[in-house]
């Protein structure tokens, strides 16, 4: 039996890469999935036993985000599962960081995540699940990515607090924390950079988006029914040993 049959899921930032893999996997497991992106071509497609509904939404715009969740409520009545994946990672050292870089990164990675979670949990029934996409960057000090790492540390802190606040409603909140993953972002880097990063991973390779999707599915489904406030690294051991 499909693990997410009859569930309504929202994947904020679900157009491609990790978010796209999560949206497709959830639909393949029977869910009706609303996948948002600023670049999405709005359409509904059957995807295995489920349905993937692509919606064009700028997650950094609170008005657009609110209107989207109201539309989901009108169509489906509730949100059983929320995944927040929308985020950006831009290089800036302490010497080079600008106010615009800080505001843009925290605006999408933290502020949008907070208000997406607030809107979704307002229409989430008891027993729902929230999966926040963090990063091992919140634990390690990668040169040039201090602001990004700080946003992911904030995601981890939010998960702990919200898990505590939402426990009386039996809503679980967890984090899936990818390490280097072979997405379009890494496709653009040099071979030398890829080799350097891969050399830091005990398993000797980058992760795949579908591997992160599998971890997100576990946290979203009843298979993890006694897990909340946790962080599940999907990093080949990079930040673990």
The pLDDT tens digits of the residues spanning 127-154 come to 999 999 999 999 999 999 999 999 999 9
3 domain-assigned:
no
Q: By the 8 A CB rule, do 173 and 132 touch?
A: yes
- Does residue 15 surpass a pLDDT of 80? yes
Mean pLDDT of 204-223: 97
The active-site residue out of 34, 91, 145, 148 is 148
- pTM of the predicted protein model: 0.96
Cβ neighbours for 158, distance < 8 A, ≥ 6 positions apart: 113, 114, 117, 132
pLDDT in tens, 39-77: 888 999 988 899 999 999 999 999 999 999 999 999 989
Look up 148 and say whether it is catalytic.
Answer: yes
Asked whether residue 188 carries a pLDDT value surpassing 70, the answer given is: no
Instruction: Answer yes or no: is 133 within a domain.
Output: yes
Indicate if the pLDDT at residue 211 is higher than 80.
yes
Q: Are 148 and 90 in contact (CB under 8 A)?
A: yes
Q: Any idea what the CATH number is for the domain that residue 228 is in?
A: 3.40.50.720
The answer to whether residue 61 sits within a structural domain is yes
Query: Which structural domain, as residue segments, surrounds residue 23?
Result: 8-234
- The CA radius of gyration of the chain, in Å to the nearest whole number, is 17
The three-state secondary structure class of 178 is strand
Instruction: Kindly state whether residue 241 falls inside one of the protein's structural domains.
Output: no
């Amino acid at each position: 039996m499909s693990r997410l049959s009859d569930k309504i899921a929202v994947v904020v930032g679900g157009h491609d890469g990790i978010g796209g893999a999560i949206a497709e996997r959830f639909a393949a497991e029977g869910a009706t999935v609303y996948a948002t992106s600023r670049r999405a071509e709005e359409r509904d497609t059957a995807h295995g036993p489920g349905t993937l509904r692509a919606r064009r939404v700028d997650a950094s715009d609170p008005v657009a985000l609110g209107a989207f969740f109201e539309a989901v409520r009108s169509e489906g009545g509730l949100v059983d599962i929320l995944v927040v994946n929308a985020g950006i990672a831009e290089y800036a050292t302490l010497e080079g960081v600008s106010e615009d870089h800080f505001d843009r990164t925290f605006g999408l990675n933290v502020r949008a995540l907070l208000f997406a979670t607030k809107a979704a949990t307002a229409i989430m029934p008891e027993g729902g699940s929230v999966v926040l996409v963090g990063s091992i960057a919140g634990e390690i000090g990668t040169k040039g990515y201090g602001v990004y790492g700080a946003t992911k540390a904030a995601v981890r802190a939010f998960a702990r607090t919200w898990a505590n606040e939402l426990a009386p409603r039996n809503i679980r909140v967890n984090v899936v924390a990818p390490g280097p993953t072979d997405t379009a972002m890494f496709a653009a880097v040099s071979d030398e950079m890829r080799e350097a990063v891969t050399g830091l991973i005990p398993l000797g390779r980058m992760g795949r988006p579908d591997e992160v999707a599998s971890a997100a599915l576990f946290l979203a489904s009843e298979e993890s029914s006694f897990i909340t406030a946790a962080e599940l690294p999907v990093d080949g051991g990079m930040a673990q040993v």
